[in-house]
Amino acid sequence: MFNQRQFRSAKEFALGSKILVFHPAFCILSLVLLTSIATPSLAAPAGWAATYGGSYSDSVASIQQTGDGGYIVAGRTDSFGAGHIDVWVLKLRPDGTVEWQKTYGGGDWDVADSIQQTADGGYVVIGKTKSFGAGRVDFLVLKLRQDGTVEWQKTYGGAGEDWASSIQQSNDGGYIVVGNTCASFGDSLGMWVLKLQPDGAVAWQKSYGGSDAESGHSIWQTADGGYIVVGDTYSFGAGGLDIWVLKLRSDGTVEWQKTYGGESNDVAHSIRQTNDEGYIVAGETKSFGVGDVDLWVLKLRAEGMVEWQKTCGGKSKDVARSIRQTSDGGYIVVGETESFGAGDVDLWVLKLRADGTVEWQKTYGGGSFDFGYSIQQTGDGGYIAAGYTGSFYAEIPDIWVLKLGSDGSINPACDFIYDVNTSEVDSNATILDSSASVLDSGASPQDAATVIHNTGISANVLCQ
């Protein structure tokens, strides 16, 4: 049995850590977190898999390769830090060994949702905090130097609950942020976008929504200096919860907005602009596919019309969490599957061709639960993926990082990698224009005062 600092199941953790639960009359915003252990060091940078954690819950939200060939990882920890749950950032060397590691937090909980290396060689982290700020939950932004020390830290929010999801440094050296605001700026849950200056001051801030509930999950600056943002909506669309994409101008006004969905619930987790100035979207659908919930990928043209759309999955729940275009014009996707693999839930990586057909796909996992949240192609043509695992050495999760070759392999001795042979299926989402209200919001940034602790774990190598 888990104690009070632990949780009932992997599925509860997965839902709580990344998904918002909506109701037309009010907002229910759930965050759940978990636990684990770790051990010694690593070598052999060609390919490897390692876990990182302590005696309680530790999970990852985001990973990126850094300019020096290493990796920056951000998530949350219940094992270390100042409060109940803290932001946890680890800088890894190319072989997965830990260069430095720090927690950032206060007396309550503080978690990270996204991290990016900035032009100055430092890092920017977006998350949410219950330790600091103006309301019950606020956005938390940490600007870190290259060694993980804090350059500045601020919260953004109103009297209600405001939950951040994604951040990117913009071309002017500032930042674009998306998340959700619940009763802080309007009567119901809305998508909230803030454009920040390089010092964290607000350049502009706007909420987007209708009569029901909306949320924002991923944002990216586009080649024209505007922004593409994806979330989901109950106010507009074909039925239930629909994927919602808004193309914003550089000042946050709406250029176009569309929903994509069917009769049931359809959710997006990731969006990026593609080389042809269109967009790639990844998430999950209950309206289409062959199973309970299927992984769903949509390729959009520049004006938001669908070029192609495909589901992939089996009889159970299968989800895409992150997608990136690859150097060959295809796409790499990470998520999790309950339909395939070795355990209850396995981390699932799919390499798609430019037309959305599957080039290869593999699961990674043991006998328990293994989830994937972030992936990127690396400079050597392989991939770095991150998630969390309860399969190796513990019933509760540790951060899990996998350095994969270009075909998804590590080496033949790795006994937790399985090929998957399921095929993609075309879907036929209804595409509708939406008409969200756009309101200026009035949050004033506040300085945060997170306590910073060095942690002392080592990489626990599983395979190399």
Give the per-residue pLDDT at 185. 66
The answer to whether residue 75 is domain-embedded is yes
Range of the domain at 51: 34-426+444-463
The tokens for 179 are: 């998340």
The tokens for 392 are: 């190796």
**Cβ within 8 Å of residue 261, ≥6 positions away:** 237, 238, 239, 240, 241, 242, 243, 285, 287, 429, 430
Q: What is the mean pLDDT of the chain?
A: 90
The answer to whether residue 321 is domain-embedded is yes
Contact 287, 294 (CB under 8 A): no
Distances (CA, A) of 79 to 1, 35, 191, 399: 18, 7, 32, 12
The tokens for 131 are: 């330790």
The answer to whether residue 11 is domain-embedded is no
Phi, psi (degrees; rounded to nearest 5) at 11:
-65, -40
Give the per-residue pLDDT at 29. 37
Report how far residue 326's alpha carbon sits from residue 385's, in angstroms, rounded to the nearest whole number: 14
Give the per-residue pLDDT at 2. 31
The answer to whether residue 8 is domain-embedded is no
The answer to whether residue 192 is domain-embedded is yes
The answer to whether residue 52 is domain-embedded is yes
Give the per-residue pLDDT at 159. 87
Helix (H, G, I), strand (E, B) or coil at 11: helix
The answer to whether residue 1 is domain-embedded is no
Nearest one of 23, 7, 122 to 76, comparing CA atoms: 7
Nearest one of 240, 194, 238 to 213, comparing CA atoms: 240
Give the per-residue pLDDT at 422. 92
The tokens for 458 are: 């080592």
The answer to whether residue 256 is domain-embedded is yes
CATH number, residue 290? 2.120.10.30
> Which residues in the chain land under pLDDT 70?
1-45, 183-188, 394-395
Total domain count for the chain?
A: 1
Give the per-residue pLDDT at 15. 31
